[in-house]
């Protein structure tokens, strides 16, 4: 029984280490936010045509809009930019959960639309099936912060 418990503990620790240390490869996660790439799992949130919410129209030029998003994203805890830059008008961020370190990828794109921009965002979990609404809450929080005059 003791051997079984030790093996179970070792497997649990290995699983936790894998989640915390698993690389997020740019080629897998830095992808355009559009409905055609969705998995059908309830652990993502898409702001785009045919998404959970329509793309957001903003008055700022794309690079300026992505600069604001970049500041918002990188001001959040445990968040890094995986790929892209505001100048590219397309960037992907990784934010990890506090306790287990579960990674979520957030791809953001701004395209010219009239005198402003069309913003699309896709936030999705790498592991699991559900996310308890974490991806939706994150995206909605970032969008609210865009209207903050301090940004």
d(CA 58, CA 118): 6
Low-confidence ranges of the chain (pLDDT < 50): none
pLDDT at 22: 80
DSSP 37: G
Helices (H) and strands (E) in the chain, counts: 4, 6
Q: Please tell me the pTM assigned to this model.
A: 0.90
Question: What's the length of the chain?
Answer: 151
92 within 8 A of 74, measured Cβ to Cβ = no
**What pLDDT is stored for residue 1 in this prediction?**
84
Say how far apart CA 109 and CA 101 lie, in whole Å. Answer: 25
User: What confidence score (pLDDT) does residue 151 get?
Assistant: 67
Distance CA 24, CA 126 (A): 9
């Amino acid at each position: 029984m003791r051997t079984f418990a030790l093996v179970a503990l070792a497997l649990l620790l290995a699983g936790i280490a894998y989640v915390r240390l698993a690389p997020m490869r740019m080629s897998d996660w830095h992808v355009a936010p559009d409905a055609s790439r969705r998995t059908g799992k309830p652990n993502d949130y898409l702001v785009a045509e045919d998404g959970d919410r329509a793309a957001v129209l903003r008055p700022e030029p794309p690079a300026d809009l992505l600069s604001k998003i970049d500041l918002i994203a990188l001001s959040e805890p445990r968040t890094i930019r995986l790929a892209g830059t505001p100048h590219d008008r397309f960037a992907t961020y990784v934010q990890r959960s506090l306790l287990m370190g579960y990674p979520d990828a957030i791809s953001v794109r701004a395209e010219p639309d009239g005198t402003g921009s069309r913003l699309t965002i896709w936030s999705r979990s790498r592991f699991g099936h559900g996310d308890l609404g974490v991806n939706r809450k994150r995206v909605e929080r970032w969008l609210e912060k865009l209207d903050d005059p301090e940004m």
